[in-house]
Amino acid sequence: MSIVIQIGVRAVSPTYDPRHTAVLLVDPYNDFLSEGGKIWPRLKPLAEQTQLLDHLRAVVGSAREAGMRVVFVPHRRWEPGDYEDWDFPNPTQLGIMERHSFARGTWGGEFHPHFQPQPGDIVAAEHWAQSGFANTDLDFQLKQHGTTHVVLIGLLANTCIESTGRFAMELGYHVTLVRDATAAFLPEMMHAAHELNGPTYAHAITTTDELTLAFKGAQA
């Protein structure tokens, strides 16, 4: 099977060697993914439309079956005082200050029960803004395990997924986006993430069904 996207005049058909591929699961917090979460009501319409939870489970499960590494890429868990004395907190950080999203020590700041680290997984240092690489150990951890290909799933499509994917490209990784294993607040945001911005940096943009089939073909 072939997953192909067109970048300029060059078609790319990725393969996923389990020894060198990692699935980056970004921000799988209860506040994002669970009923009762602070941000779930804003995500729920698109998350349910894309069957987000089913697809996240499918990608993570398929990666583990294939012997690929799963890497948790968590946002900073809010603590009292965060951002308050910063010169330039961004709009998302200002919202976190107001909502106390992903508050440390609370249910909302815990990972969704279906996405808990397993032996062999990596939990990267928490990122303060939108890129999972900026000011964290993510690149170091991936390189220590020989990772060359990263598959991005989780939240949000047009913020942390995009920023982490762009940074990965800049660092020389092969980047795959998965259209239906992410979500955003508005359809326009999803369109921008996958139709407008994604093709400028991602090497492959695919679906969960296509990706899991490719993973099965790549099992060690």
Cis peptide before 156 (omega within 30 of 0): yes
Please count the other Cβ atoms lying within 10 Å of the Cβ belonging to residue 146.
Answer: 12
pLDDT at 14: 82
Q: Is 97 exposed, middle or buried (0-12, 13-18, 19+ CB in 10 A)?
A: middle
- The per-type count for the chain, helices as H runs and strands as E runs, is 8, 8
pLDDT at 217: 82
pLDDT at 13: 62
- Give the angle subtended at the CA of 90 by the CAs of 84 and 94, to the nearest 5°: 50
Q: Tell me, letter by letter, the H, E, C secondary structure of 114-133.
A: CCCCCCCCEECCCECCCCCC
pLDDT at 209: 97
Range 15-217: architecture per CATH: 3-Layer(aba) Sandwich (3.40)
pLDDT at 220: 56
Compute φ and ψ for 187, nearest 5 degrees. Answer: -55, -35
d(CA 73, CA 150): 12
Under-50 pLDDT residues of the chain: 1-11
